[in-house]
Structure 1
């Protein structure tokens, strides 16, 4: 229940919700059903609470292993979610070799042996088998229309008498009662004068999406904001309208929704999602550079892609705009993310 809020809280207010900065202990059923934000991809809503990272505990029901990561299917009895768990260097290396000798130090301390013990201990905690208990903390992602967790922390839980599971089953319902199922309450909008610019940005965004606009100039959307200033008498309507338009366009640029391909006196904005030439440029960079030996294993880093696209297409492309294009390409299965920040062609 309560998975969709009546209206999204403006993203600049998300920090006022303590749940946003915490790992939310949600049931997997609710993680799978949360709706994604229309303002910022990768953020989801349970009730009116913005959530992008979660904490789950469950039984492993399937397992796949690759060179760089594990894929675990975690079941908490309400649903099953795929958890992408990246290996660190200790898990990848079979042995640690130290330069400058092999013998033990004075007092019988052998750093090589101790490091191997640490490695084996970590392997035993991270290499989880089917039917074992796993705890995962990480960010929520949607890849190829499938919801999953990209883990920042994961480990096997030793729970022979089910003490951890019982404690979890008592704590989570209480969190729902006290936090998650209570809608976020903010003070009156009069305390947040910048909400008018956020409303203006939403109006422009909705119009551009509805009309599938690829390029526009400020005066093309100026009249859309006229209703927002009719009741404002602090300055002349014309001055206030221009200021509101300026703030709304800056908000949309900060989100990456629009950008200026060329900065000139002719103020033309491109809508990122409608710029087909930009999409082609991004795909070309990933296709060409992922063949290079340097990027063959891990794929192209997002900052490398950004630099290459700026050189061949637009110096003014922002990282947020590029990330929107990458997410769209990944959703369309044109590219695949090798990690949180590396991409390659399928």
Structure 2
């Protein structure tokens, strides 16, 4: 691979904000290089909650969970500025590495993020990076026509209506029974009953990004019907709660 090809890839020289699930899906191109859709990268940034900690004499390993997966983030002790604890929200940057058949990130730095909104910012930027790297899927008139002719489009529409109603009912019930006053839609991804319902009726292989988009769409539709009220900056609350 020529230096020109690498230099023309702007992501190669940066820490690519990425979902942990996508780190595991990277293709090992050559030593130190990984294929992320149509781009070559070697360094990434992930953001999530510390789920476990393992330390030896030289290296600390933090197991970071962003709800799409858990990955080992190793760092030399002397590089740690502030030691994360279990449950800390962290940003970890470093090089992707494969060791004993396991994918890891060996970190340049790990920082505790005090602002919980940083996680949402990271997710939105990760979605942007993915769209920059992923080839466009173009729907042709022929493929659309074929869907309509075999009736699959109509069946899908009916199924979606049933699914939407079930998810809306579960979401409202969850908010009614809980102590939640105001919330961002993405926070509901941590409610197992809602996530499980979405996956069971839309496919267990749904990505974290797809589930988040589905929840946001559902909240907006409930707001249009007067069940939820959008306050500001994307926050919602249940009316009369």
- Report TM bin, short chain: 0.5 to 0.7
1:291-302, aligned counterparts within 5 Å? none
Check the 8 A contact 2:16/2:129 in 1, yes or no: no
CA separation in 2, counterparts of 1:30 and 1:176? 9
The CA deviation at 1:47 is: 1.2
Rg (Cα) greater in structure:
1
The alignment status of 1:181 with 2:137, answered yes or no, reads no
- One of 114, 135, 145 as aligned partner of 1:158: 114
1:170 maps to 124
Query: Offset of 1:26 from its aligned partner?
Result: 1.3
| Cα distance change, pair 16–168 in 1 and its aligned pair in 2 (3 A) | same
CA deviation profile, 1:16-70 (whole Å, cap 9, x unmatched)? 1101111111111111111101xx3121101121111001111111101122221
Displacement of 1:175: 2.4
SS in 2 for 1:88: helix
> What is the deviation of 1:79?
0.8
In structure 1, distance between residues paired with 2:103 and 2:130: 21
- For 1:148, the equivalent position in structure 2 comes to 104
1:70 to 56, 60, 65: 60
**1:35-114 matched pairs, under 5 angstroms:** 35-37=27-29, 40-88=30-78
Distance 1:20 1:182 in 2: 18
Asked if 1 retains the 8 angstrom alpha-carbon contact of 2:17 and 2:125, the reply is no
Q: What CA deviation, in whole Å up to 9, does each residue of 1:159-211 have, x standing for no partner?
A: 3xx2212222222212222x22248xxxxxxxxxxxxxxxxxxxxxxxxxxxx
Q: Distance in 2 between matches of 1:137 and 1:11?
A: 26
Gaps spanning 5+ residues in structure 1: where? Answer: 1-9, 92-121, 184-346
Structure 2: how far apart are the matches of 1:165 and 1:171? 10
* Distance in 2, Cα, partners of 1:164 & 1:44: 26
Residue 314 of structure 1 is matched in structure 2 by none
Q: In 2, Cα distance between the equivalents of 1:131 and 1:54?
A: 21
Any gaps of 5 or more consecutive residues in structure 2? Answer: 137-241
1:138 is matched with 94
- The structure with the largest strand share of the pair is 2
Q: Please report the TM-score for the alignment, with normalisation by the length of structure 1.
A: 0.37
Task: Output the TM-score relative to the length of structure 2.
Answer: 0.53
Q: 1:11 to 1:63 in 2, by over 3 A?
A: farther
Per-residue deviation at 1:11? 4.3
Q: Paired residue for 1:32, among 11, 24, 27?
A: 24
Residue 72 of structure 1, CA deviation:
0.6
What root-mean-square deviation, in Å, do the aligned CA atoms of Structure 1 and Structure 2 show?
A: 1.8
- Stretches (4+) displaced over 6 A: none
